[in-house]
Copies of this chain bind each other. A is one copy, B any other.
Amino acid sequence: MKSTAWLTKTDGPLAAQFRFLIEADRLKTVIRANRIADDSRRENTAEHSWHLALFAMVLSEHALAPVDVWRVVQMLILHDLVEIEAGDAPLHDPQAAIGQAEREQAGADTLFGMLPPAQGAAFRAIWDEFESADSNDARFAKACDRLQPILLNHVVGGGTWTDYDVDEGRARARTSQIAHGSAVLWAAAETVFADAVAMGWLKPMPEVAA
């Protein structure tokens, strides 16, 4: 980055907002475990966030309880910004989860703290609600976040299921919160898992295989 000295010529709150938006650009360089649909490369967190916002817009009719789609989309646009500071913790990598919650809380302090105070507090409240998953909106947002990589894993024929040697039981356990946001989408996920096992892209559970 060459210079943001020009920002000193811009008014205080707007300069703070521009600094935040330029810092947020770093989310384009945070690489996730799963691949994009054409299997050419792994997905970055910025494009993932866009895809999830689109998931919420398209699929909201299937939410378990009525949701405010705008609040869901705000959560999905903001939810992974903390990975700029904390990095991505792949769902199927238990080592990566160690200390991740603390890193993400610190990241939220840093990033949302860059904004004018009232705006930063409002964004932080949206992020906290998503993290705690204690509203219908947050549960549906979480469902979208868990569902999207399942579809992408199936589309590429294995993806993180193969990379992390995941079996059907583990795949279901790590994504079962989809059911808290949408029974319809959880049923769809079950269909995907079953088909992925049939195709040999996801290992059957040991009980089933024995």
Contacts and interface: CB of A to CB of B under 8 A. Distances in A.
A57 B49 CA distance: 14
Interface residues of A, number: 62
Given A47-B44, A53-B77, A38 B22 contact: no
Contact of A26 (B2, B38, B151, B157): B38
A21 B55 contact: yes
A46 B41 CA distance: 14
Interface string A31-46: 0000011111001101
Contacts of A10: 188, 191
Contacts of A4: 155
What 9 A-B pairs are tightest by C-beta distance, nearest first?
A50-B50, A6-B195, A2-B157, A25-B37, A46-B47, A70-B70, A47-B47, A28-B47, A49-B50
B62 A155 contact: no
A115 to B, nearest CB: 7
Main secondary structure of the interface of A (DSSP, over half): helix
Contacts of A37: 1, 22, 25-26, 28
A36 B47 contact: no
B77 A22 contact: no
Interface stretch (A12-20, A94-102, A169-177): A12-20
A123 B128 CA distance: 30
A54 interface: yes
Interface string A55-71: 10111001000000110
A24 interface: yes
Interface in A172-200: 184, 188, 191-192, 195, 199
A28 B6 contact: no
Contacts of A188: 10, 14, 18
Contacts of A123: 57
A77 B58 contact: no
A155 B2 contact: yes
Contacts of A69: 70
